[in-house]
């Protein structure tokens, strides 16, 4: 089972549409948003895609009621724990919010955070730790997202606007599709 992960979309509707296209192409069966959506209208296409969406609020998400309504009540305060595809997942907008949870060695299969706008993949114990970078592309000039295969626990950071078929972005620790 594959999940698509994005963060820091910051109302960039065009980049969000590109990210959704990546998730559809990669056949993601769930979408996880790590906050800083900003406006609820940005997630409407994700909700309309039919792919289950779960999210956490970021520091720029002031319309929490609107995000909950647009997502079918699937946005939460972080850190948020969920189980998808038999994997225990810890989600938060900021890594700082995870400090109390991540120390519990072996408790999570997947730890997700955003906020820094920089893609990252690494392992902490058995947990795969991912920051998908920024879906908006405002700081780096590149809109990125992650696709994670929960069966193999492998992840790729992808360039959402790449015209090439692979669309891979070099991120620290990220697997490369060659």
Per-domain boundaries in the chain: 2-159
State residue 140 phi and psi, 5-degree precision. -100, -15
Q: Are strands 144-149 and 154-159 parallel, antiparallel or unpaired?
A: antiparallel
- Can you say how many angstroms the Cα of residue 102 is from the centroid of all Cα atoms in its chain? 18
| Per-residue model confidence as pLDDT tens digits over 60-113 | 999 999 999 999 999 999 999 999 999 999 999 998 887 666 665 678 999 999
* Cβ pair 6, 135 in contact under 8 A: yes
- Can you say how many angstroms the Cα of residue 178 is from the centroid of all Cα atoms in its chain? 23
pTM confidence score = 0.89
| Per-residue model confidence as pLDDT tens digits over 9-37 | 999 999 999 999 999 999 999 999 999 99
Sign of the CA dihedral running 140, 51, 14, 68: negative
- The CATH class that applies to domain 2-159 reads alpha beta
């Amino acid at each position: 089972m594959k999940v698509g992960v994005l963060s820091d979309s910051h109302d960039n509707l065009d980049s969000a549409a590109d990210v959704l296209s990546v998730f559809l192409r990669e056949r993601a069966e769930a979408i996880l948003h790590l906050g800083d959506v900003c406006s609820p209208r940005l997630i409407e296409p994700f909700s309309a895609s039919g792919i289950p969406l779960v999210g956490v609020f970021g520091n720029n998400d002031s319309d929490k009621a609107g995000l909950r309504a647009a997502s079918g009540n699937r946005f939460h305060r972080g850190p948020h724990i969920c189980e998808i595809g038999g994997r225990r997942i810890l989600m938060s907008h900021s890594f700082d919010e995870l400090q109390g949870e991540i120390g519990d060695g072996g408790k999570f299969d997947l730890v997700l955070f955003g906020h820094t706008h920089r893609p990252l993949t690494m392992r902490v114990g058995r947990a795969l730790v991912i920051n998908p970078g920024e879906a908006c592309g405002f700081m780096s000039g590149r809109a990125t997202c992650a696709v994670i295969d929960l069966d193999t626990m492998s992840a790729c950071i992808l360039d959402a606007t790449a015209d090439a078929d692979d669309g891979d972005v070099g991120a620290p620790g990220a697997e490369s599709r060659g």
